[in-house]
Amino acid sequence: MLRITAGEHRGRKLPVPDVKATRPLVERARMAVLDHMRPILEDARVWDVYAGSGILGFETLSRGASEVVAIEGHARAIRQLQETAELLGYAGRVQILRIDAHRFLGSAESELAPDVVFFDPPYKDFQGAKRSGVWELFCEMSRRLNPGGCSVVHTPRGILNPTEMGELPGLVQRDYGTTSLYWWHAPTDGCIS
């Protein structure tokens, strides 16, 4: 079970889908990044990419976000996302898409720019041939943010190299045990250097 840490549903426990690749972010890391984002969460549009349990998206709704687009490919995770959205009364504010994350940017649902992007691919995608594609996808989604928005990627600890980090100037790393979170803020003037 996962616990919502703040807002309307603070303390509410949510089930985790029985999917091998689902690895929810530890609570203290989730709290840290969401507390950091507090100023932009009110009425935010959120993309939760590789949503898994959906805890990050549901946390943002509890804290005042207006809508979440949850992108997930696994059928069991999709069912759990739907059940949780109903349970919390968020069914009308969560759009759940069973689509490969790499195809999402070409879809109609990606037309409205997000204020927040959570990007949490399987750790294995950061190894071998998939690595450059998954990193490029995160960077492209980050560049779609509304000015002042924030994107966050969850990776194995310290895995990004200086070249990758340089693609999003100002990318910040925070480590939590064997995990790293990297977050990036879109410039408020909309210009990415």
- pLDDT tens sequence across 53-91: 899 999 999 999 999 999 999 998 999 999 999 999 999
**Is-contact 27 48, C-beta < 8 A?**
no
What is the three-class DSSP state of 85?
helix
Say if 133 falls within a structural domain.
yes
Long-range contacts of 123-127 (CB under 8 A, 24+ apart): 123/23, 123/155, 123/156, 126/155, 126/156, 126/159
Say if 44 falls within a structural domain.
yes
- Average pLDDT of the chain is 89
- Count other C-beta atoms under 10 Å from residue 49's C-beta: 25
Q: Which domain holds residue 148?
A: 2-17+25-185
Say if 193 falls within a structural domain.
no
Confidence of residue 152 (pLDDT cuts 50, 70, 90): very high
Residue 124 corresponds to which amino acid? K
**Is-contact 185 164, C-beta < 8 A?**
no
Looking at the chain, how many residues does it have? Answer: 193
Of the listed ranges 20-24, 104-108, 179-183, the one predicted with least confidence: 20-24
Number of separate domains in the chain: 1
Say if 192 falls within a structural domain.
no
- Domain containing residue 103: CATH number: 3.40.50.150
pLDDT score of 3: 80
Reply yes or no on whether the pLDDT at 18 is more than 70: no
